[in-house]
Structure 1
Amino acid sequence: MRQAHRRGIVVGMNERYDVIIIGGGAAGLSGALTLARARRRVLVVDGGQPRNAPAEGVHNYLGRENTPPGELLRIGRAEAGAYGAQFAEGNVVDARAEGGGFRVELDDDTSHTARKLLVASGSTDELPDIAGVAEGFGRWVLHCPYCHGWEVRDRRIGVIATGAMAAHQALLWTQWSDDVVLFTNGREVAGVPAKVRVVEGPVQRVEAQGVHLGNGAFVERDAIVVQTVPTARAGFLAGLGLATVDLVMQGEAVATYVPADPTGRTDVPGVWVAGNVTDPMAQVIVAAGGGLKAAAAMNMELLE
């Protein structure tokens, strides 16, 4: 059997797996652990670009509070690998039905086959086009109070209206601070809570110390909040006929995702999804639970 050696991991190039898992984040590794413990032949293909890489720690994950994201993935890989899961480094560029199963093509021109696919490729956060946002994202530019609220409690928080959920965001952040300013950024924002101070006018740029407005004014803030657009990493599914749909809130698309039933089963037989690729608002512990749920459903179908 031809083999490929990647970072000390031996991957069988001609082996047909029970399940190929696309994505090695919390959802993919949880699925891998569950399936490997069920004695399934599992391959995890991972491009090494987790959505939460800029964060200092994972939060609200019982038993793993404050664990650095990379450390959590290292632990998960070791646990799944101990039960026989295999790993391949790379990005899937195409996935197609073949011979009663599936073939996935990687960006290094290798390919692998399996009876079923679990897509846990996650999503990327599309950031608003404001100078300084990308440089500070995950540190002093934030988007999720449940992920970062405790760390900036009682600090000066600035919420920039970059989407339809601006008033909702401003209200939510008052749970962690009494000093919340909403920058309208040229938008009409209705329903702003009375306890939130409103600053009109477009935002020019942000920095770690605050917000620069288009009129030259500067408002000091310790943390900046923006609304991102989580976008599913799913372009490689086109060959299977799977496409993303918009998640719409208050008349505006706030995310994209791959639809599935409660177990993660998609409209394509043999293909499941788990984590942010299908649930864009899921935190890490929820994504991990989705991977377990999908893996259990896949194992049962393999048995049947």
Structure 2
Amino acid sequence: MKKLRFIFLIGVTVFLIHCDKKKDPVNDFETNLLCTTLAICNGETPAKTGIIGDSWTDLLLGFPFVETLRPQLENRYNYKFAGATLGGKTLQQVVSQGLQFQVIDQGGADMKVVLLSLGGNDIQANLNEYIGNISAVQAQRFATIKANLKQLIITGNAYKISRFGGPPIKWIIHGYDYPNPYMSPVIGSSDEGCKSKFDRIGLIVPDAGVFTSTQLDAFNNLLVDITREEPSLIYVDLRNTLGGKPASRAELMLDCIHANNLGYTLLADKLARLIYPFTNIGL
């Protein structure tokens, strides 16, 4: 989906450059885009719940190409998020850019919970590095994910308490559901998680479904392990919502790693139930 997002972003940029910035609709669009994707807002937009996420929460810069988890929770479960959601976002980028601080600034003193949808892009990036060295590369990436996630939580809570006082934030992270590597990509050159990508770069695995589902299970297990070290982190399991191991059902998927509208409806229903005890919103 990176090419599709890039094309859309270029179009938006050209449009904004050639328009009169005094016109409110353009200014409103630009302001909303920055606030939604990067939590760069004009002051606080108080909210009890924050969100920081990747394409499972915002596939295409807020454009309703697919109703991902964020719009599903906002439109169907009455969530009002302060957040930074942008397709392609990695956990590494979130920590490097300090997005946890920006989301806390945006949400204000009443923010109690932040929902996280991160880690998948950290695993999927530069798949050619896995060639001939799958176990070692995965172990290194998981170690980096663990270090970054703990840093996000620790620094985020320290910042929240220092600025607003009160208890630390509860950080809720969901694991992903199983990919379907046999799906065709929506854009031919954007085939992350697809068997076609494995074949194209020479990543030879005995069975693509077994490889991706095993990796997905290992990632979910990693999140469980981190909760044992970080009491502010809560893990919720979304596996088996879209059909189960080794690959989610094709009729519920948009491409290899993203659900379609129906699939995200099922995922949002399950997620809303699982996080309700911590957010007290939506049910």
TM-score range relative to shorter protein = 0.3 to 0.5
Greater share of residues in helix: 2
TM-score by length of 2: 0.37
Greater share of residues in strand: 1
TM-score by length of 1: 0.35
Higher gyration radius (CA): 1
